Amino acid sequence: MKLALPTPLPTRISTPASAPTPGGVGRLDALLVILSAENPAFKTLPDGQRLAREAARRGIDKPGGILYSSMPGARGRPAIVGLLKSGASVHEALTLSRKIVAAARPLRAKRLGVHAAGPGAGAWRAALVDAVLAASFPMPSLRSETADIHPLEELRVFGGADLGAEGHAAEAEGNGLARWLTALPPNVLNPSAYRQLLEELAEREGWSAEFLDVGRLKKAGAGAFLAVAQGSGNDGAGIMRLKYRPSSARRPKLALVGKGIVFDTGGTNLKPFRGMLDMHGDMQGSAVAVGTLLALSRIAWPEPVDCWLPITANRTGPLAYTSRDVIEAGNGLTIEVIHTDAEGRMALADALVLAGRESPELIIDYATLTGACVAALTSRYSAVFSNREQWLQPLVEAGRRCGERVWPFPFDADYDEALKSDIADVLQCSLDNDGDHILAARFLSRFVPPTTNWVHLDLGSGHRKGGLGHIPTAFTGFGVRYTLELLQHTTLPERDA
């Protein structure tokens, strides 16, 4: 079964400086609007007085309310107006935008307009743009009948002269790629197919691609990754390295590391049915890393970046690794295996070792790593950890600014007491599972050079039924938007500050 990589979004984004006029909306299939709930500026819309009366008549005057009505001079095509409270967070604006776009989805629109008025108009307008682009990105379809696709051709952003359309399109494409990869069925995206897709993507984007197969990883001593991979036999497992080099610089300043478990049965410690049902999504960390690399390429990020992707499945069988095995990782540390369903930290360990050997200034890793993270935060937030305590507040603020929210947890050294082994350097995890998201981060930190800045994202919000923020699909691609915000608009304190 052959799938072609998704192509860049075909949408043309125009940014007229004016508010919408009857002539300006006449060719549109719909106009999407956010107004302030306290003082909705219907007067900025064509036939705004009628829309205001209609909203009052229907009782749509509270934050979150959505009015679906017709536009004047547009052959009965709709205006969809949402109300948002002044001072609403970016996440709230994104969430309302997703609902507004969902109301327009049955129209199969080819030409949409976006408008906002009120104290947060700039951010609201941007949220609508992001929601439109996210909903426009096609997800995989393996139906026998050809899908009736109506790609969005034009997005007209009224008053959006300062929008920075290229950046929004880059983020949407990176996030869309992450979601597209994650949604692929496990028999389609097996390790060999994943490698092939990544090599095709690298060729298209001008990256270099190097695949460390099982033979090379044995020579490199990457025993933690290989322990997970051995249960699947010879299925094309390995660690992919993608290199983005906008200049002649050889050493990466940034390394992105993503967990690429294409299906997780739990291994010898087999998962129950419901826990295994969507485990093709356990490679979302790697998809987010690749999507972030694509977005950085689209905005012509000026610094060199490496992307490390440990790709395999975690299966049961006569060759699968087992509890109480002792494994040696690539940095020489020995690991006593406790639970074979804690495979993500094993695969990441050797990828972090390899990334660290290139001496980047910053490593960011992404992983759908622990159920403890979801238990602590629900799927609304992801967890963030760092080996630089002074970074935690800026990391949280970056999430608030972009609407992909993160929350930090303790990272004190005394948590290591729960990972003491009588026979090896470290336990893979504890027996009682208390605070497993914290212990997983402490475990991973042993495979990052202490002189290297490191951020670990446990993607508890990588999957949420009904979507999250502006994203309409259950797999959210969480992390692409966050990383762009972190790299472009966040000042992180110096290490010794």
Catalytic residue among 156, 195, 259, 345: 345
Neighbouring CB atoms inside 10 A of 143's CB total 6
Q: Active site includes 243?
A: no
CA proximity to 47, closest of 70, 80, 77, 75? 70
Instruction: Please choose, from the candidates 344, 313, 328, the residue with its C-alpha nearest in 3D space to the C-alpha of residue 439.
Output: 344
What is the C-alpha separation between 93 and 82, in angstroms, rounded?
Answer: 10
Tokens of 59: 């009782």
Q: How do beta strands 382-386 and 453-458 pair?
A: antiparallel
Instruction: Say which residues have a Cβ less than 8 Å from residue 473's Cβ, sequence separation at least 6.
Output: 139, 179, 183, 467
From residue 87, give the alpha-carbon distance in Å to each of 35, 38, 68, 359: 12, 11, 24, 42
User: Residue 314 and residue 265: Cα distance in Å, rounded?
Assistant: 6
**How far apart (Å, rounded) are the C-alpha atoms in residues 347 and 214?**
13
Q: Which of 111, 243, 271, 400 is catalytic?
A: 271
For 492, other C-beta atoms within 10 Å of its C-beta total 18
Assess contact for 295 and 177: CB atoms under 8 A: no
Task: Find out whether 300 and 206 touch, Cβ atoms under 8 Å.
Answer: no
One-character DSSP codes across 215-271: HHHHHHT-HHHHHHHGGG-SS--EEEEEEE-SSS--S-SEEEEE-EEEEE--TTSPP
Q: How far apart are CA 415 and CA 385, in angstroms?
A: 14
Q: What is the DSSP letter of 475?
A: B
Longest alpha-carbon distance in the chain: 78
DSSP 46: T
Please state, in angstroms and rounded to a whole number, the distance separating the CA atoms of residues 351 and 447: 9
- DSSP classification of residue 38: S
Residue bearing tokens 């033979």: 215
Residue with token string 């096609």: 138
Alpha-carbon distance of 462 to 367, in angstroms, equals 9
Angle at 139 between CA 197 and CA 68, to 5 degrees: 155
Residue owning tokens 């051709």? 153
> Catalytic: 345?
yes
- Among 92, 136, 129, which residue's Cα sits nearest to residue 114? 129
- Residue 89, SS3? coil
Tell me which residues are annotated as active site.
Answer: 271, 345
